[in-house]
Structure 1
Amino acid sequence: MATKLFERLSNDYLELLDDKEDFNVIISTGESSKIFQVHSNVLRYRSLYFRNELAKASKDENNHKKINLNHISTQQFEIIIKYIYGGVILIEDQDASFIFELMLVACEFLLEELVKYLETHLIETNSSWLRLRFSHIYKTSFQNNQLQDLQKWCNDIVAKYPDKLFESEDFISFPENALISLIRRDDLQMEERKIWDYVIEWGVAQNPGLSSDPTSWTNENFLALKATLKNCLPFIRFFQMTNDDIIDIVCPYHQILEKNLWDDVLKRFITPNRQISSIILPPRVILTPKLPSRVTEPFSTVINEMHAAEIASWVDKKAEAYSVTNNPYEFKLLLRGSRDGFTRESFWNLCDQQTNTVLIIKVNGTDEILGGYNPTYWDKSTNN
């Protein structure tokens, strides 16, 4: 068995990064155009992006090739270039926003290993931050096919709480692959009629000239919507809808369906026992609406699950409060005064470095409840 001694190799390559004698590539980054003097052989073999860029770049009078990356911050590129040379990733002191942007830069440079690492780091360490910006994270992840883990993380949440996506303000601007990846799932927790309504809404929004009233459409209008939704329609479970659904919400748009499919839909509901040729997708697996208890001990002596759902809606800036069954957050009890004490020491022992926390206080002798939300983290070292 071969012994792999990578630490020394990594250190040697990081020293090479600092060696200015044999460089042959100049990279400019950030608004201040900071210069990095690097080596083409390392870049070419570590990144397909740089292999392609170096193939296109011409040499200057000093036999150097120049690459302009001024759209990428110097701080981000310093981390990237140290990874390229030494395989080290230095993000311990960076917040989730910086790491997310760094991941997108790694995508641009086609650094698959680094992208995978940063995805995992965000999901395992900064899931609360991702949830607070869910709509943006979801949309961004499906605009880049390298972010498979993040796409799956997002879809697992949306499958359970589809309103988080479908009722977001920018739903109609989501890419087609994001919509398809969701509606194809057997475990999407939404009635088929609602899924159909949202798919139609999305499709109409992609055609600005279409009105919301299909009775006023021309044949060309229906053909335009049919072309827009051609990749989505195969995942609609028409044969799991009720007769009323077919008549009320599908029939007005039947012209966007293939004739054979529409004929089979009608046959199925007029004469259910007649053989049809269309593929019948299975019904979606809808879970019981009652969620299991989120904690094994009493949730709180101050607030209940309904309060928690309402607080979650404030955090997400929702106009309408979440219900207990569709609250996308898990509230984990960190400190209870009656159990852990009301001292400063108790607070810092249990809450130091904890992120995305809610503090709840009940005023003694009254029913008044006070509190606040900290979207960052508690830091004992900065407390006076």
Structure 2
Amino acid sequence: MLSSEFYSSLSKDLTSLLTDTSDYNMIINVGEKPNVKEYHVHSNILRVRSKYFSKAVSADWVKKKDGIILYEKPNIGSDVFDIILSYIYGGKITFTDTTSSWKIFDCLKAADELCLDEFLEYAQDYLLENRKEWLKDNLSFMYQDTFPPSSLTKIQGYCINQIRKYPFMFFNSIEFVDIQEECLRELVQDDHLDISELELFEKLIEWGMAKTRELNQTDNQTLSEKNFALLSLTLDKLIKHIRFYNMDSSEFYSRVEPLKSVLGTKFYDEMEVYHNKSRMNLTKKGEGTSNGVSTSYIPKSINLLPHRGAIISKIMNLEQGAMISSWIDRKDLPSDGIGNNNNDMSRATITTNRQGRIARPTSEERGNALNMWKSSGPSFGKFDILMQNGGIRLKHKSFVPNIIPLKDGETFKIEDYEVFEVTQKVEDSTGRRVRDNEEIAVEIQ
């Protein structure tokens, strides 16, 4: 069966109804006085195109006069509503280089309220593709204004990722002290925030001082006992998320101790015990450690969390790691790569500090790309780069060219090697990880 679609003429004809006042059945007054604009519209079109209007027009409390529905939207400006109506009637969204970024964002907010999902997706993508610098310049405002329950999840995800990578764009902004508690709490709990615990603690103190009316003109070095009590109350839901056990002990005593009343007596005492042990260097050989102190010294009441930010490698920075991660195929691996010949050699890498190289092992014969030996750790291919008896031997069965130049029979000692994952992060639109695929690499020093 042959069919044709004439959407262009359909869009044009429907849009013409906005200027044809002979058949409307609804009046919408948009904006606040004295800038109110009256629109004559058709309720059936609005109901079909917008879930918001579908409920609003059908509500029992809707006002009518002479059979005409009367409706008001004071929180949306007429310049924004013009764009919204153009989309509802004609399916057109027109943003140009001269369209204000703030106007586009206001359109996004209106589309969110009016449940215009298609408009919402397009406008978010437009800002992310064409107005990134503007988003960065207004990062604090954007983060808070798109915070859930807002549906602007793409903008929110972008803001979160920017704050994680460049936290002081947010924490040093003028708007920081105006941020709402729930928005700040989300960041304080974020494992990926690239900021030290001491810096985060001091920023919370700054925020708390500004939010506590009695203290916003006070120096934190001259706080009275009453002042501390007020500040502690303001920061009650935030301060517990600071990982004081990840601070250097000298920082803890010089910068945190003067403000210990904010932490509460019990919590501070627990942290003091921890840092006392750290100062005394009582770590026992073979015990698990955190920040140089046995984890057995951490009170059971404390949920031990990792250091914030990305795992720091000695050979690559965050952006380089992200670039390598982007190379990973997004399909699940067909095998775990152990005990068969399905190892994907193109995915294995070896890096060295000495030359700063990242090389790829290649196999000259069939066999496993990676083997694990109880006595000597990993080797590649057939006994290549195998550590044994304090030395290493290189063969050219599965090889990495010129990692370290050696003469025949020459060996060297490996002081340390690092095994780490390059993890494919599959994220939802807010930047939260959903699932991982894993890759393995070995660093040789």
Please report the TM-score for the alignment, with normalisation by the length of structure 1.
Answer: 0.63
Q: 1:126 to 1:77 in 2, by over 3 A?
A: same
Distance 1:113 1:258, change over 3 A: farther
Distance 1:252 1:72, change over 3 A: same
1:254 corresponds in structure 2 to 260
The structure with the larger Rg is 2
Aligned residues: 289
Query: Counterpart in 1 of 2:274?
Result: 268
The amino acid of 2:29's aligned partner reads S
Residue pair 2:274, 2:297 contacting (<8 A) in 1 also: yes
Structure 1 letter corresponding to 2:151: Q
Matching residue of 1:241:
247
Sort the Cα spacing of 1:209 and 1:234 in 2 relative to 1 into closer, same or farther, 3 A. same
Match of 1:91 among 92, 95, 98: 95
Q: Secondary structure at the match of 1:190?
A: coil
Give distance in 2, aligned partners of 1:145 and 1:196: 28
Aligned twin of 1:37: 40
Q: Which has the higher strand share?
A: 2
Distance 1:145 1:225 in 2: 30
Q: Could you say which residue in structure 1 is the equivalent of 2:349?
A: none
Aligned-pair RMSD on alpha carbons?
A: 3.5
Contact 1:207 1:225 in 2 (8 A): yes
2:219 is matched with: 212
- State the shift of 1:247 in Å: 2.1
Aligned to 1:303: none
Tell me the amino acid that sits aligned with residue 38 of structure 2. I
Take 1:134 and 1:195, find their aligned partners in 2: how far apart are those partners? 18
- Distance of aligned partners of 1:99 and 1:291 in 2 relative to their CA distance in 1, 3 Å threshold: same
Partner secondary structure for residue 214 of structure 2: coil
Partner of 1:64: 68
Does the 8 A contact of 1:139 with 1:175 survive in 2? Answer: yes
Match of 1:334 in 2: none
In 1, are the aligned partners of 2:29 and 2:39 still within 8 Å (CA)?
A: yes
Q: Is the 8 A contact 2:164 2:309 kept in 1?
A: no
Q: CA deviation at 1:18?
A: 5.5
Sequence identity, in percent? 30
Q: Is the helix fraction higher in 1 or 2? A: 1
**Candidates 197, 204, 219, aligned match of 2:202:** 197
Contact 1:143-1:175 within 8 A present in 2 as well: no
* AA partner of residue 59 (structure 1): K
Question: What amino acid is the match of 1:64?
Answer: I
Which residue of structure 1 lines up, in the alignment, with residue 27 of structure 2? 26
The residue type paired with residue 216 of structure 1 is: L
**Partner amino acid, structure 1, of 2:197:** E
Q: Tell me the TM-score normalised to structure 2 length.
A: 0.56
Deviations 1:278-330 (A, max 9, x none): 1011112355797879xxxxxxxxxxxxxxxxxxxxxxxxxxxxxxxxxxxxx
Q: How do 1:7-156 residues align onto structure 2 when only pairs under 5 Å count?
A: 7=7, 11=11, 14=15, 20-30=21-31, 33-51=36-54, 53-54=56-57, 55=59, 56-60=61-65, 62-69=66-73, 72-92=76-96, 94-142=99-147, 145-156=150-161
Which residue of 149, 166, 184 maps to 2:189? 184
1:159 counterpart (161, 164, 177)? 164
* SS at 1:146 equivalent: coil
Letter in 1 for 2:76: I
Aligned pairs (5 A) from 1:302-313: none
Distance (Å, rounded) in 2 between the aligned partners of 1:87 and 1:133: 30
Displacement, 1:70?
Answer: 5.1
Tell me by how many angstroms 1:121 deviates.
1.0
**Deviating runs (4+, > 6 A) in structure 1?**
3-6, 288-293
Residue 267 of structure 1 aligns to a residue whose secondary structure is: helix
Match of 2:308 in 1: 284
Alignment match, 1:363: none
Secondary structure at 2:174 match in 1:
coil
Note if contact 1:10-1:87 (Cα within 8 Å) is conserved in structure 2.
no
Structure 1: unaligned runs, 5 residues or longer:
294-384
Q: How far off is 1:165 after superposition?
A: 1.7
Which structure 2 segments of 5+ residues have no match?
278-293, 321-445
